[in-house]
Every structure is written in structure tokens, then in C-alpha cells.
Amino acid sequence: MGHAEFKFESDRAARAISMDEYWMPFTPNRDFRHEPKMVVRAEGMFVWNERGEKLIDASSGLFCVNAGHCRREIADAVSAQLRELDFIAPFPRAHPKQFELATRVAALTPGDLNRIFFVNSGSEAVDTAMKVALAYWHARGQGGRTMFVSRERAYHGVNFGGTSLAGLVNNRRKFGLALPGIAHMRHTHVPGNRLVPGQGAHGAELADDLVRFVNLYGAENIAACFVEPIAGSTGCLVPPRGYLERLREICDQHGILLVFDEVITGYGRTGQAFAAQSFGVAPDLMTMAKGITNGAQPMGAVAASERIHDTIMAAAPEGAIEFFHGYTYSGHPASCAAGIATLDIYRNEGLFERGRELSPYFLDALFALKDIPVVADIRGYGMMAAIDVHADGAPGRRGQVFQKRLFANGLNLKTTGDCAIIAPPLIADRSHVDIIADILRKTLATL
């Protein structure tokens, strides 16, 4: 049986590569092999395909390249680090950049979330936060608190913990029941907020689903409530006004930890360092990844409150390991170097502020597309928005066509089902927003 091949045009000569061996994630592999979409170069706001055609990146890679592609400062920092120290076991050894980056991250986090545990992805961050919550309650002598509450339409990564928390059926249906003891609140995508920019006026009362679970299972059995401040991968579900505040109030009343998954919203996407600051609600634990290294190196982290950290530390005997958890590549030297260089760029170029200033123009440009008949809904906050298109028979079929046509028309972004998610790099200016909106309008008109 012959290999499926792709003709890759190099500077010297055309060469063929086999497409059989690599199993692509979250991709219809057979469809991709029939019609490959290859990206071979990137710079700033743009990527180039194998034919040398230039596309604007409207999704910051995968919501991670907040400072634009191929930043030399980050590449140079990683290169220098690999020449100096490529790896050292993260337990029980360390290197200085782990502590430097943790200090820099803690300077950005809200409240007293000043204890930083490094991992390698958002998925690992979520599973780590679950373990931190369990360890905290065990240290408090409340080991019965083992349940978690999440939401429908939530995405919390793809490890078993995050898959169990998830409220996206296709991420769950092939993998059984996953972890027990997880309840799901209703999502906040309600009709009253359709085509409303920012936070809608309807749905705050849905936070009281957490009260229902307290009454059903007992607060003494619930460890934590996990929410994305803005549900990202499902299509930019912005919280209704008062919703996050109500969750915080309920958690405080019943001693439940509140965890914000800021893997997508972190590092400037909402106009502040984190959405917790944009919405004025501080969680007890917070997960992050993606923008922490501008996507240049794999990295994630959990920010824990000093109270949680200190409780876990104090419960262990002197000289003992306090938290039996970690990864071979936790706080990898190259990732830490990339993170420090990335935070320098955010600060020196004022990218969080820049995104905040551009947001009204960005949202106005996208909400202007609501006159197109195929558009079912538009949502957005900060520098993140989503456009739902009316389904064409099978769910997701029109969305897949939409994504392919956008790529052909010079725009790269992510679709989930029949929803396109737009989240350009924070280096964007009005001209880039105009290009994105023009290609969206042109392409939507063809559906």
C-alpha cells in the first residue's frame, strides 16, 4: 500500500514527504490528507503556506501567540539558555530562571495568588489544580471534599481530569465516564444575550446551580468549582453581569475553592493580565498556559493563593515532600527563558494596554457582520470574539467549510463546530482588524 504524500516546495527542489505516520490531533486526518493546509513560516501578524501565500493569523496560533509570531527576543533567549543549560531534573534540583519567572508571573496575578507551580500545558495545569485542591482539603482534615463542579460547554484540557470536568460532549463520548464525582452547572449561553457585545444582562442566576449541588451533595463533599471566566474553545461565552461575582459569593459561603481556568484568557486577552482582574473577581487557584511563552515553548502553570500553599506546606513533616506531583519538564530551562522574554515584551510594548485600547474597534468591526443572513450569533469581550453560523444539516459541517474557505481567502483561525473564534495577536492595529473583518464578510457571503 502506497504512502499518502505531500509535495513540499523547498528553495532547491520539490520534495515529497509521507503523510501516513503523523497522527494529527483534533483533526479529520483523512480529510486533511486529501486537502492539506500547511503553514511553513510566520512573522508578526502573518503566516505563510507552502506556496508562499500570506495569511493573516486571526487566532494567535491557538490563542497563544499574543505578542505576534517569531519574536527574535524569545528565540534568542531560548537559544542562549540551551547553550548554557539545556536541562536539569526539576526534583530535587532547580535552576535560577524557574524562580525568576515565578516571581514575574506572581507580580501579574490577582490577589494573593503568589505561589506558582510550573507544568507543560493547559491540560496539565488543570489536572494539577485539581490535585492542589484535593491536597489542600486533606491538609485541612476535610478529606471528604473530593467532588468537583464544572459547567456544560466547558473545556479544561484533555487529560483525564480535564476531560472529566469538560462539558463538550465530543471530548467525552468516546472515553467512558472518566473520573467520578463531577457535577456540571448549566452554561450561560442564553438567548437574551444574543448579538450583545461584552457581558449580557441575562443569566447571572445560573450561578445558583452551584447552590443546588451544595444542597444535593453537601458542601462538605465539594472541593472546588472550575470555570473559564470566558468559556473559550466552545466559542467565547462571555459571563453575564454578576455571574462570576455570585459564584465567588457561593464558594465563600460554603467553603468551596473557586478555580479560574485562564489558559486562553490569560496574558492580555481581556485587556488586563488576567480575566480575573477584568471582571474584578479573584479565584483561589488559577490555571494558565499558552500566552505565558507566546507559544514559543510548551509551558503552563498553576497560581495558588498563599493560604492554600502554606496549608499544604505546613501539613507535611519537616524535610518531607509536601506535594507529590510534578513532571519531568516542569519549569524547563528553555521554557522559563521563553517566559521571561515574553513577559518583557508584554511590559515593554504595553501589549495588554494596547489590546484594551483596540478592543472597541475590534468588537465593532465584528458585530457589524450581524447583517449577513448566515450569521446566527456574535459574542465578544476584549480581543476575543466568536461568530456562530447557522447549521447546514449535520452540526459542524458548515463550520468546517467556513474554516477552509477562510484559509483559501487568506485568513487563519480556529472553528469549533459551527463557530469561528477570532482572537488576533495583541500587536494588531486597526488595519489588521479591517483585513480580518473584510475576509470574514467576503467568506460568510459564500456560505
User: How would you label 292-301 residue by residue, b for 16+ Cβ within 10 Å and e otherwise?
Assistant: bbbbbbbbbb
Length of the chain in residues, anyone? Answer: 447
User: Which backbone phi and psi does 363 adopt, to 5 degrees?
Assistant: -65, -40
Confidence at residue 67, expressed as pLDDT on a 0 to 100 scale: 98
Closest CA to 122 of 180, 67, 81, 163: 163
- DSSP E strands: which ranges in 25-112? 39-43, 46-49, 54-57
| Amino acid 1: pLDDT | 44
Cα–Cα nearest to 115, from 124, 106, 123, 107: 106
Label residue 321 exposed, middle or buried (CB < 10 Å: 0-12, 13-18, 19+): exposed
104-128 per-position pLDDT tens digit = 999 999 999 999 999 999 999 999 9
User: Which residue ranges of the chain lie beneath pLDDT 70?
Assistant: 1-3, 7-14
pLDDT tens digit sequence for 122-161: 999 999 999 999 999 999 999 999 999 999 999 999 999 9
Phi–psi pair at 431, nearest 5 degrees: -65, -35
Distances from the Cα of 34 to the Cαs of 20, 28, 29, 37, 195, in angstroms? 12, 10, 9, 10, 36
Alpha-carbon distance of 267 to 257, in angstroms, equals 23
Place of cell 503552563: 300
CA dist 221 to 120, 142, 182, 217, 282, Å?
Answer: 30, 9, 11, 7, 23
> Residue 239 carries which DSSP code?
P
